[in-house]
Each structure stands twice: as C-alpha cells, then as structure tokens.
C-alpha cells in the first residue's frame, strides 16, 4: 500500500486508488479522522464524528475489493453531511436544541446515493438552527470558523452549509452534502474558495431535509412550503471535477447526463449581470465577475425580471406559517434560538388567495426570466467577501446590508428554481476567495459546468 497522504486529494484519485488496491479505504478514513482531530477543535465544523461507523464501512469496502467486487465511483471517499440532512443511526439535530437527541431511522436518498457509490460518511457538520441564517452558529453547538484566513482574521465560512464548507476546505472531508435555500451551498463556497452546485429543483431527491414532514421515520418535503418547494440538496467540493462527479451520483437516474457531454461554449448565448439589480456589490467582487464575463465575451443582461426576484423571495417567506418547524419541536422542553424565534414572530396571516397570488407571480417571473437570460447568466454570489466572525451587517456602496441583503443574488436564483454552479475566480486584495455564479436553464447543469470550466481555464491562463 502507498504511504502517501490522502488528505487533500481529490475524490477521483482516492476512488481510483481504493478500487485498484493502491490504498485501502481504512487508511484513507484513518488519515481523515486524524485530520479531524487536528483541525476540528479550532473550527467547530463537525458536530458529530462517525469514527467507528466509518472504520467499519471502510473495512467492509476493502473486504469487498479483495473478493473481487466492482466498487463504485466514490469508493473509499470520506464525506460529511450537513446536520440538516437525515442520516440513519447518526444524530441529526438541524442545529436545534429541540432535536438534540434526534436519530433518524432512514438515510436521506442523497446520503444513500453517496453510500451506494462507495463513499464513507465520516461526520455531520454544523448549521444554524433549521438553516435559517447565512452565518453558521447556533445555541446547541456554537459557532463555526473558516479555515481560510489569508490575512490572519478569523472569518465565517458562510452558511447555512458553513460546517460543510469549513470541513471540505480544511481537508477533514473530501466531499460535502449541503442544502441550498437562499444560497446555502453557494455562499459558503464563495467564502472558502470551493466549488458547489445548486441543482435544478427536482434533479436530486428532496427527501430527508429538515424542516419537513415526519412520516414513518422519513422526512418528506412539504410542497406547500418554501422549504419543500425551493430548498434542494447540493454538493460542495474542492474542485469542479469532484463537484461534477458528486452531482452525477446524486442525480435521479432518469436525469443523469452521459459522458462525454459536448457543450459548444463558443456558440452559447452568455450574459452577465453585476448583481440581481437591487443590492450593491463590493467592487472587488464586481471586478472578478466582470473579468470572468469578459473572458467569454458575454453581453450584459438588460432584462426586467431579475430585479423582481429577491423581493418575491422575501414576500413568499413572509407568508410562511412554519408549521413544519412547530410540528418538529412539539413536545420539546427546549426553546428555539433567537433567529428562529424572530422568524416565527415575523409571520403574517394572509388569505389563501394572497398566498396563491404570490406563487402565480413566481410562475410568471420564471417564464419572463427564461425569455431574457439567454443560455447562461453569470453574476456574483454575494455582495460581500467572507466576513469576520461575529460581523452580521455590512456597508457596501454607502448602504448598510443585512446578511439577507448581501445574499440577494443567491435568493433571486433560488426563487427562479434554476441550476447554479459556483467556482472561485480570483482573490481579493487581502487574499480572500471570490466566487462567481454560473446559472443555466432548467436541467442544463452540464452547460453551467462547461461554462464554469472555461471560466476557470481562462482565469488560470491569465495568472
């Protein structure tokens, strides 16, 4: 067996080594568990470590190889899962004291898909309570810090999949499974220099995400809620190839695309926007997005639909009753964190007709935007770079922004239900990563991935 370290290696090379016998899955897992011991005390990214289960899964995989079984595309690859996603036999709290002792009986289908491909669950990662904040902290486990601090300042890894981004960026796991509601895999990738994918709604089975409807040990997506309609599971990785492989594994079988997928980037109608149209964006971020767009000769988006999207996201959120959260917490003696308490208090009673009118507005908005966007739209992930830990408001362009305001470009794409690939395209003056969103038409993730690859290639050519 090779004595080289597998920490920091990509998923494809690890899986190839395990399948060929160059490395044992047990060795790969042990090295990542050692990395967790080394880094997690400082970062607080993992809240549950599945050490013994991971060792047992690795040993089983190694035995199957010796028996001549064909191993999957993620053989021996350690992965972590946001604590908002159900994992069978492993504590899943959604960052809430009300679910502190919750142990699901059934894996979310996305977790099951990773395991079936040979990946090994190594731990669960921190999230704000029910994922309802763009910064990763809760009263059950505390605050997560980013391992990316080129200027020495301890910063947030974003949220709500911030535990995932911190874990993957620090080499404690190779792949991460997060969820994205209003930017929760895209913003953390931007903050930590990772790649992530928010897929088209419906590409990945939505079951197993909190909050949802409990039924015979499963967590079902409630189609009458924004979470059930707009939130999706998505992967985080350290490179685009791994993110692509992860998305292929996670995609429902009838929605997977075949290799090689030929995308003629040169003949795509590519457009770009300096934001979603209502919130200012930091000049360094704008410069990086503009450079990425210019490298593809993209034309500037001049439509009218995108500036309406963030406001619609907020309007739909404001009419939620959050019945699923109340139901999940029923019988608990614990209270909610301040964020959830404020969210529940802010809800307004609306008539069914008013709520249905908002969803009708969404349908029309999607139709309008698809008529304006071309094949691909490039835009910022957020208005700001990764913020120092504890900072929750930001001055940009003379305006004071909340973290929700800062994620307006993400929220706009979420409400439209479109796929978005985030890749790092540059560094700020103080060395912080800058990500860009590459948004494609529904179920055209392969197009977004191809354009993202071209953007990264163009950026590297300029270095």
Query: How many whole angstroms separate alpha carbon 161 and alpha carbon 121?
Result: 16
Tell me whether residue 82 is one of the annotated catalytic residues: yes
**Which residues make Cβ contacts (< 8 Å) with residue 107, sequence separation at least 6?**
86, 87, 88, 115, 208
**Residue tagged active-site, from 184, 295, 409, 428:** 184
| Measured distance between the N- and C-terminal CA atoms of the chain, rounded to whole angstroms | 37
Using DSSP's 3-state secondary structure scheme, residue 154 falls into: coil
Under 8 Å between Cβ of 131 and 184: yes
**Residue tagged active-site, from 82, 167, 196, 295:** 82
What DSSP state is assigned to residue 193?
A: T
Residue 127, CA atoms < 13 Å, CB-side half-sphere: 35
* Nearest residue to 2 via CA among 25, 27, 22, 29: 22
What DSSP state is assigned to residue 90?
A: B
Under 8 Å between Cβ of 317 and 346: no
Continuous segment of H or E residues that includes residue 440: strand 433-440
Q: Which ranges of 184-260 does DSSP label H, i.e. alpha helix?
A: 186-192, 226-230, 240-250
What DSSP state is assigned to residue 397?
A: T
Structure tokens at 77: 């690859």
* Nearest residue to 125 via CA among 177, 77, 198, 187: 177
Residue-by-residue DSSP string for 307-356: HHHHHHHHHHHHT---HHHHHHTTT-SPPPPHHHHHHHHH-----HHHHH
Tell me whether residue 167 is one of the annotated catalytic residues: no
**Which residues make Cβ contacts (< 8 Å) with residue 169, sequence separation at least 6?**
146, 147, 148, 157, 192, 193, 194, 238
Structure tokens at 22: 């160059």
**Residue tagged active-site, from 24, 146, 160, 167:** 160
* Nearest residue to 210 via CA among 335, 102, 114: 102
Under 8 Å between Cβ of 187 and 180: no
* Nearest residue to 246 via CA among 146, 144, 173, 340: 173
- Residue numbers annotated as active site: 82, 160, 184
């Amino acid at each position: 067996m090779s004595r080289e370290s597998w920490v920091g290696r990509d998923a494809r090379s690890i899986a190839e080594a395990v399948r060929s016998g160059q490395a044992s899955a047990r060795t790969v897992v042990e090295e990542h568990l050692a990395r967790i011991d080394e880094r997690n005390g400082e970062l607080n990214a993992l809240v549950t470590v599945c050490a013994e289960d991971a060792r047992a899964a690795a040993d089983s995989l190694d035995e199957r190889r010796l028996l001549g079984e064909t191993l999957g595309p993620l053989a021996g690859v350690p992965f972590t899962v946001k604590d908002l996603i159900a994992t069978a036999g492993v504590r899943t709290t959604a960052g809430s004291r009300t679910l502190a002792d919750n142990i699901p009986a059934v894996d979310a289908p996305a977790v099951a898909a990773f395991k079936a491909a040979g990946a090994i669950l190594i731990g669960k990662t921190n999230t704000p309570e029910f994922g309802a904040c763009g910064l990763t902290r809760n009263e059950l486990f505390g605050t997560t810090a980013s391992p990316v601090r080129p200027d020495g300042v301890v910063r947030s890894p974003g949220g709500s999949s911030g535990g995932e981004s911190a874990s993957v960026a620090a080499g404690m796991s190779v792949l991460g499974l997060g969820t994205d509601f209003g930017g929760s895999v895209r913003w953390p990738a931007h903050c930590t220099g990772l790649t992530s994918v928010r897929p088209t709604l419906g590409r990945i089975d939505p079951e197993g995400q909190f909050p949802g409807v409990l039924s015979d040990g499963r967590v079902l997506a409630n189609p009458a809620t924004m979470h059930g309609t707009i939130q999706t599971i998505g992967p985080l990785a350290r490179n685009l190839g791994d993110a692509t492989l992860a998305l292929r594994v996670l995609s429902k079988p009838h929605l997977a695309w075949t290799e090689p997928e030929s995308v003629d980037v040169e003949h795509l109608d590519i457009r770009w926007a300096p934001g979603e149209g209502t919130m200012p964006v930091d000049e360094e971020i704008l410069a990086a997005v503009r450079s990425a767009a210019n490298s593809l000769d993209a034309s500037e988006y001049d439509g009218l639909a995108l500036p309406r999207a963030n406001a619609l996201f907020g309007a739909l959120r404001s009419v939620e009753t959050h019945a699923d959260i109340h139901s999940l917490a029923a019988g608990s003696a614990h209270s909610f964190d301040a964020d959830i308490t404020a969210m529940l208090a802010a809800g307004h009673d609306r008539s069914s007709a008013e709520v249905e009118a908002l969803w009708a507005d969404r349908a029309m908005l999607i139709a309008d935007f698809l008529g304006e966007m071309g094949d691909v739209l490039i835009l910022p992930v957020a208005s700001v770079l990764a913020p120092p830990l504890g900072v929750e408001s930001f001055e940009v362009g003379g305006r004071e922004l909340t973290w929700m305001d800062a994620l307006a470009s993400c929220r706009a794409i979420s409400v439209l239900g479109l796929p978005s690939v985030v890749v790092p395209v540059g560094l700020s003056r103080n060395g912080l990563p800058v990500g860009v969103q590459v948004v494609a038409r529904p179920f055209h993730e392969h197009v977004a991935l191809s354009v993202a690859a071209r953007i990264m290639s163009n950026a590297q050519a300029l270095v």
